[in-house]
């Protein structure tokens, strides 16, 4: 049996799209599940859309997600210095089937184009853009599908312009058969049969000497020994053209699997117009790479159980193309928030705090002084990492994405809270009753030594107070929690009290009491 080998072949036209990440993930999982290889190839033949730095960005994002590949394009520092660098100190390639960047393979494509022309599977087309545009308008007016009319199909194939070193003024088109059918089995959509007469004579080589996707990906996939082509549904109509090319070359045809589209909640195709689509944007917002992968896994794949949380190793073990749906998947950010929150809750507190520190700095709450010391900007006091761990722990259960942490714990760092005094009232209590209960709490807490101002000790003392005075839980803990946080929803007063410390706790209770007078 032929070894499984898949590829992810993005174009360097900007940041990595979440749909492209799903394509990469499914290719990775399928290869790993079948003990095969997963490679990265860069398809940069569309020079008009090339974005400087996007290759480096693509590699960095893949590295962050943990989708490791065995050959292709890498960051130069990840490989031995002896490897060929595309861009000094930035990009390098590794593998036996390179180059892995299409713009470096132009001679290869020209060789195979000449072979197609020689064997009458392709032809030169000298039609001008003006003629092609007029042809399309005429076809549209007649309600016909726009496709090339074959004007240049019968031209002599002798004296190849490539052999003369010529460029420009012509393209090379695939000479598709006009009778019969092209059939193939898609691993997701099943058997597909297309009439050859509706398959366009697709351009294979552009006038600038660069190949189109149709030629380059077929040649590369064959030479790089790709066994399974797993790509987006938008390439399904092009597959018959690719199969005709494989047949023209006399090559084995790989297996095809086309993935359903990612959709906005309104069922339109996922696009920038309705929100973020770049993986980098989601990572900046504080979505964990492993949570994003987990979410994207479920956009089109059904584990056939009620499970929804999967580690990368579990994904590899469970993934199979038979679980991929045929219908488009809704990109639901609420589900992403839920999955990300689940990962945050399960994280080691120290690791979580390290990830939260940049967001606390960005929120203007702290300033980094050294690798272990931070300055609280509202008080100019120093805070060590252990203190920040306690702060983050307060909201670990409620945080859905790391970028929320600044707003969630802001109450810890501010000098003075701002809230309406009505918020201190539990149910139908009067201001006088609330004030009296806070005064009782103040008097008890004032007696505690600073070193014993811990969550457990605070809880014991205040619960003893409630039992002794006949105060219901909500009648004391609600106003106390609001006094300490200024919020309707927040962590409990015992945890908050320990983090704030005795001085701040008494000061905030006193402020609440005075607001009620």
Does residue 71 have a pLDDT over 60? yes
Which CATH number is 446's domain given?
A: 1.10.10.350
Q: Are residues 443 and 365 in the same domain?
A: no
Nearest to 512 by CA among 386, 407, 426, 451: 426
Q: Containing domain of residue 453, as a range?
A: 421-516
Q: Are residues 272 and 353 in the same domain?
A: no
Question: Which phi and psi (to 5°) does residue 6 adopt?
Answer: -120, 165
Which CATH number is 386's domain given?
A: 1.10.8.70
Residue 402 lies in a domain: yes
Residue 302 lies in a domain: yes
The pLDDT value recorded for residue 169 is: 77
Residue 148 lies in a domain: yes
Question: Which phi and psi (to 5°) does residue 175 adopt?
Answer: -90, 90
496 exposure class (CB count in 10 Å sphere: 0-12, 13-18, 19+): buried
**What's the rounded Cα separation, in Å, for the pair 504 and 408?**
18
Q: Are residues 13 and 93 in the same domain?
A: yes
Q: Confidence band (pLDDT; 50, 70, 90) for 379?
A: confident
Q: 228, 259, 290: which is the final residue of a domain?
A: 259
Strand 5-8 relative to strand 37-40: parallel, antiparallel, unpaired?
parallel
Question: How many Cβ atoms from other residues are within 10 Å of residue 264's Cβ?
Answer: 17
Q: Confidence band (pLDDT; 50, 70, 90) for 369?
A: confident
Q: Are residues 246 and 120 in the same domain?
A: yes
**What's the rounded Cα separation, in Å, for the pair 206 and 200?**
16
Give the mean pLDDT of 60-86: 80
Question: Which one-letter DSSP state was computed for residue 211?
Answer: B
Q: 259, 286, 302: which is the final residue of a domain?
A: 259
Quick: pLDDT tens for 283-309.
Answer: 999 999 999 999 999 999 999 899 999
Q: 284, 302, 330: which is the final residue of a domain?
A: 330
Q: Are residues 254 and 130 in the same domain?
A: yes
Residue pair 293/279 in contact by the 8 Å Cβ criterion: no
Q: Are residues 112 and 246 in the same domain?
A: yes
Could you give the number of structural domains in the chain?
4
The pLDDT value recorded for residue 85 is: 47
Residue pair 26/52 in contact by the 8 Å Cβ criterion: no
Quick: pLDDT tens for 129-150.
Answer: 899 999 999 989 988 888 999 8
Q: Are residues 113 and 89 in the same domain?
A: no
Residue pair 322/34 in contact by the 8 Å Cβ criterion: no
Q: Are residues 399 and 441 in the same domain?
A: no
The pLDDT value recorded for residue 272 is: 66
Residue 52 lies in a domain: yes
| % of the chain with per-residue pLDDT over 70 | 94
Residue 115 lies in a domain: yes
Residue 231 lies in a domain: yes
CB contact set of 183 (below 8 Å; sequence gap of 6+) = 191, 192, 193, 194
179 exposure class (CB count in 10 Å sphere: 0-12, 13-18, 19+): exposed
Mean pLDDT computed over every residue of the chain? 92
Residue pair 40/6 in contact by the 8 Å Cβ criterion: no
C-alpha dihedral, 412 to 416 to 419 to 425, nearest 10°: 80
Q: Are residues 182 and 310 in the same domain?
A: no
The pLDDT value recorded for residue 372 is: 80
Does residue 374 have a pLDDT over 60? yes
Give the three-class secondary structure for 427.
Answer: coil
Residue 365 lies in a domain: yes
Give the mean pLDDT of 248-259: 97
Weakest mean pLDDT among 144-153, 332-341, 375-384, 462-471:
375-384
Strand 122-125 relative to strand 171-174: parallel, antiparallel, unpaired?
antiparallel
Q: Are residues 174 and 202 in the same domain?
A: yes
Q: Are residues 502 and 382 in the same domain?
A: no
**What's the rounded Cα separation, in Å, for the pair 171 and 185?**
31
Q: Are residues 54 and 15 in the same domain?
A: yes
Which CATH number is 193's domain given?
A: 3.40.50.620
Residue 342 lies in a domain: no
Write the CA distances from 223 to 84, 108, 217, 260, 284, integer angstroms: 20, 10, 10, 27, 38
Residue pair 316/308 in contact by the 8 Å Cβ criterion: no
Quick: pLDDT tens for 308-365.
Answer: 999 999 999 999 999 999 999 999 999 999 999 999 999 999 999 999 999 999 999 9
CB contact set of 112 (below 8 Å; sequence gap of 6+) = 215, 219, 249
Return the active site residues. Answer: 272
Beta bridge mates, 122? 174
């Amino acid at each position: 049996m032929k070894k499984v080998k898949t590829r992810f072949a993005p174009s360097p036209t900007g940041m990595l799209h979440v749909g492209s990440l799903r394509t990469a993930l499914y290719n990775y999982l399928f290869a790993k599940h079948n003990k095969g290889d997963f490679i990265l190839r860069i398809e940069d033949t569309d020079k008009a859309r090339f974005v400087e730095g996007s290759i480096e960005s693509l590699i960095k994002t893949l590295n962050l997600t943990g989708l490791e590949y065995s050959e292709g394009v890498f960051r130069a520092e990840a490989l031995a210095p002896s490897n060929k660098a595309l861009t000094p100190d930035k990009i390098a390639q590794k593998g036996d089937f390179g180059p892995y960047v299409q713009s470096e393979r132009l001679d290869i494509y020209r060789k195979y184009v000449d072979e197609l022309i020689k064997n009458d599977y392709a032809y030169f087309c000298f039609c001008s853009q003006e003629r092609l545009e007029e042809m399309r308008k005429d076809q549209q007016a007649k309600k016909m599908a726009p496709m090339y009319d074959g004007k240049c199909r019968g031209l002599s194939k002798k004296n190849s312009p490539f052999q003369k070193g010529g460029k420009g003024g012509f393209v090379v088109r695939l000479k598709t058969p006009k009778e019969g059918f092209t059939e193939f089995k898609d691993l997701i959509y099943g058997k597909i049969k297309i009439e050859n007469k509706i398959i366009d004579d697709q351009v294979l080589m552009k006038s600038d000497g660069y190949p189109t996707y149709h030629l380059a990906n077929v040649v590369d996939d064959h030479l790089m020994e790709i066994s399974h082509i797993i790509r987006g549904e938008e390439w399904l109509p092009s597959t018959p053209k690719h199969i005709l090319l494989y047949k023209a070359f006399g090559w084995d045809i790989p297996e095809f699997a086309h993935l359903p589209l990612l959709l906005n909640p309104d069922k339109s195709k996922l696009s920038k117009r309705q929100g973020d689509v770049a993986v980098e944007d989601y990572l900046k917002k504080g979505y964990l790479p492993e949570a994003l992968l987990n979410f994207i896994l479920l956009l089109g794949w059904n584990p056939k159980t009620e499970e929804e949380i999967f580690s990368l190793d579990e994904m590899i073990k469970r993934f199979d193309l038979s679980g991929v749906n045929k219908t488009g998947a809704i990109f639901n950010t609420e589900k992403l928030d839920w999955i990300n929150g689940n990962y945050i809750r399960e994280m080691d507190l120290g690791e979580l705090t390290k990830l939260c520190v940049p967001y606390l700095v960005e929120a203007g709450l702290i300033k980094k002084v050294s690798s272990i010391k931070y300055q609280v900007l509202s008080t100019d006091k120093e805070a060590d990492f252990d203190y920040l761990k306690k702060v983050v722990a307060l909201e670990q259960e409620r945080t859905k994405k790391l970028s929320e942490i600044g707003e969630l714990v802001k109450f810890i760092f501010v000098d003075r809270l701002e809230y309406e005094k009505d918020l201190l009232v539990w149910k139908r209590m009067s201001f006088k009753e609330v004030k009296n209960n806070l005064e009782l709490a103040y008097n008890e807490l004032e007696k505690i030594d600073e070193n014993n101002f811990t969550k457990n000790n605070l809880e014991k003392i205040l619960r003893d107070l409630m039992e002794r005075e006949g105060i219901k839980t909500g009648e004391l803990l609600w106003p106390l929690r609001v006094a300490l946080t200024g919020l309707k929803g927040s962590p409990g007063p015992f945890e908050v009290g320990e983090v704030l410390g005795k001085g701040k706790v008494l000061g905030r209770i006193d402020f609440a009491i005075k607001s009620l007078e």
